[in-house]
Amino acid sequence: MPSEKYNKLIKMVNLNNIEMYSLECAQNNELRKTGKQNIDVQLSHDVKKVVVEGLNLLVRIEFAVKAINKKGSIEEADLDELFNINLHIDLRYLLDIEDEQQFVDDFQTEINEFVKRNALINAWPYAREAISSLTVRMGFPSLTIPTYKYTPIY
């Protein structure tokens, strides 16, 4: 259950901007030539940066996607990867605060909780769209990532 202090933080934070910070993608043409693949898609995400800069909160999240050949017929491990996508998304929030250092000191725990609960939910649709578009542009069927659902542990 969110605390009063967390609820106070929520009232001070407004999403201002979402941008793609970086993008890398590659495909394995040698593996692709072997025809129809039975693949396993691995998706991971990780918060890489959380910084309060003046009246802004910057959160950078990395999304990594790998499509791996399930057959394992090719000896070398790196050849088993059909394609990969690595994407960083920056979220910038405006903070309704007066003193940056006091805010960080008073709300560090709540900032971390906010990033876990809200930042990923805010970034997820952008990552889904980018991943789907990129797979098509690489010549593969559209890869649809499921929606993200944050389930807090009480």
Q: Is residue 124 part of a domain?
A: yes
The tokens describing 96, both together, are 């309704």
Cα atoms in the Cβ-side hemisphere of radius 13 Å centred on 50: 15
Q: What is the pTM of this model?
A: 0.84
Q: Is residue 144 part of a domain?
A: no
Domain count within the chain: 1
Per-residue pLDDT of the chain (154 residues; tens, 9 = 90+): 468 999 999 999 999 999 999 999 999 877 665 566 677 889 999 999 999 988 999 999 999 999 887 765 545 444 588 899 999 999 999 999 988 888 888 999 999 999 988 999 999 999 999 999 999 998 888 888 888 776 666 5
What local confidence, expressed as pLDDT, does residue 37 receive? 64
- What is the domain extent for residue 70? 4-137
The tokens describing 98, both together, are 């007066």
Q: Is residue 147 part of a domain?
A: no
Q: Is residue 133 part of a domain?
A: yes
What local confidence, expressed as pLDDT, does residue 137 receive? 92
Q: Is residue 41 part of a domain?
A: yes
Q: Is residue 24 part of a domain?
A: yes
What local confidence, expressed as pLDDT, does residue 69 receive? 79
Q: What is the CATH number of the domain that holds 28?
A: 3.10.420.10
**What element of type H or E holds 89?**
strand 81-95
Q: Is residue 149 part of a domain?
A: no
